[in-house]
Amino acid sequence: MFLDECRRLCYTEYTLSTIYIKVIYIISRLYCNNCFSPQQHPFSEKRVGWTIFSDDFEKRVGKRVGNPCIGVVFEGNERRAHMKAKRMSLSALFLFCFSFLLTACDKVGEKSASLTVMYGVMAVLSLLLFAGYCFCIKEKERWFFVLFASVAVVNSGYFALAVSQTLEAALWANRVSYLGSVFLPLSMLMILLKTTRLSLPKPIPPLLVAAALLVFLVTASPGILTIYYQEVSLISINGASALEKVYGPWHGLYLVYLLVYFSSIIGVVVHAIVGKKLDRVHHVLMLSAAVAVNLGVWFIEQLIRIDFEILSVSYIISELFLLGLDRMMRENEKLKAMVSEQMQTEAEPKESEAGQTVSETQAELFEVGLKKLTPTERMVFDAYLEGKGTKEVLSLLDIKENTLKFHNKNLYGKLGVSSRKQLVEIGRQLLQTSVPAGTKK
C-alpha cells in the first residue's frame, strides 16, 4: 500500500515528515473505512429495496417511501456519489503525500531539482483542473469558478517565481500569486456558506471583493512602495528562485486578512455541525477536511521554515474536497426532490382517464354507500372530491390524523373502493355523467 510504503521510507531524523505521514495514514484509514460505507453512517439506514437518507430528512418528510423501484435508483445514485467523493479524497491525500515526500523526505542536497519541478507540476495540474471544471461540469457555481481560477493563478505565480532570473520578473510573479491568494479565502467562505445553507446580505459580497482588491494592491506594492516590503532581493534556494524580504509596516495587513477569513470559515463549519445543516457525517468530515488542510499547512509554515510552498498543494486538495462535497450535496438534493415528488404523487389523486367508465354494479354500490355515510364521512368525501389533501382535510375538520384514517377506512368500506384515488375517480365519473347522488342509474 502506498501509505505504508511512505511510512517505511521516511527516516526518523526527519521529524516533520514522519509526523506528517502518520497523520495522513490515520486520516486516510478512518476516512476511507468509515466515511464511505453507507451501512456505517449514523444518519443512514438500509432497508429492503430502498434507502432512508437521514433521520432528520425522514422527520421533515413525515413518512418513509417504500417504492422498490425508486429505492433502487436512490441506492445506485448514492453509491455513485460515494465513489466519486472517495476518488477525489484519495486523489487529494495522494497529492499531499507525494508532494511532501519530494520536498521533505529527501536530504537537502537532493531537493535542488524537485522544488521547481513540483511548482511546475502543481501549476499544470491547477490549470487542468480549472479547464476541467469549465468544460466538464455542467452545473457551474460562480464561486467555484473563482476558486479554481484563483488556485491556478496562485500556483502559476509560484512556478513563475521559482524560475525567475531577474528581480523584476520575480516581483511580477509574486504579484500574480498574491492576486489568487486574496480571492481564495473569499471564494472558500462563499462556497461554505452556500453548502451550509447560510446567506449574507446582498451588499456584503461586493464589499468583500473590494476589500480583497485593496489587500491585493498593498501586497503588489513591492518594487513601487516600501509599505509591504521595505527591502527585497532575489536569491536562489536549492535551485529555485525566491525573494529575500524585509517586511514593511503594512505587512501585517495580509496576516489579519487571512486570520479574519480563517475565523469566519471555522465559525461557519462549527455552526453547520452544531446546527445540523448537513445531512451526513461524511459531509461534515469533508467540510472539516477542506478547512483543516489549509489552516494546518498555514500554521506549519508560520512555525517552521520550509523551502517548498505546501499551500500550492493544499489549495488543490481543498478545492477537490469542496467540489466533492458540492457534488454529493447536489446529488442528495435531487434525490430528496424525487422523494417529495413521489410522495406527492402517492398522496394526491390523479384525474380520471378520458373514456374510463364506471360499471352499473359499481355505481349502484357506490350510491348505496353514500346514503350510509355519517355527516363527518360525507364531509371527508366532499373534501376529497374537491381535491383537498390530507393536511387540508385535517385542518378543515379539526381532527387528528388517526381519526382521519378511521373515517377513511369506513368510507372506503361503505363505498366499495380500496383507495382515495379510486374513490375520487368513481365520484367524479358519476358527477360528470349527471348521476344524482342517492339515485339509481
First-to-last C-alpha distance (Å) of the chain? 80
The verdict on domain 360-432 having CATH code 1.10.10.10 is yes
Give the sign of the dihedral formed by CA 419, CA 422, CA 426, CA 427. Answer: positive
DSSP assignment of 175-197 equals HHHHHHHHHHHHHHHHHHHHHTT
pLDDT per position as a tens digit, 426-438: 888 877 664 444 4
pLDDT per position as a tens digit, 65-78: 444 343 434 444 44
Q: Which fold has domain 2-344?
A: Rhopdopsin 7-helix transmembrane proteins (1.20.1070)
Q: How far apart are CA 10 and CA 14, in angstroms?
A: 7
Number of helical H runs and strand E runs in the chain: 16, 4
At residue 257 the predicted structure's pLDDT band, cuts being 50, 70 and 90, is very high
Instruction: Please state whether the predicted TM-score (pTM) of the whole model is above 0.95.
Output: no
Q: Which of 42-46, 86-90, 239-243 reaches the highest mean pLDDT?
A: 239-243
Q: How far apart are CA 275 and CA 281, in angstroms?
A: 13
Domain ranges of the chain: 2-344, 360-432
pLDDT per position as a tens digit, 99-118: 444 444 444 334 445 678 88
User: Residue 377's closest CA among 427, 421, 412?
Assistant: 412
Percentage of the chain beyond pLDDT 90 is: 20
CA distances for 162 relative to 48, 103, 118, 159, 382, angstroms: 58, 14, 10, 5, 79
Per the prediction, the chain carries an average pLDDT of: 72
For residue 234 the three cell numbers come to 532575489
Q: Where is pLDDT greater, at 134 or 23?
A: 134
R_g of the chain computed on alpha carbons = 31
| pLDDT in the model for residue 339 | 67
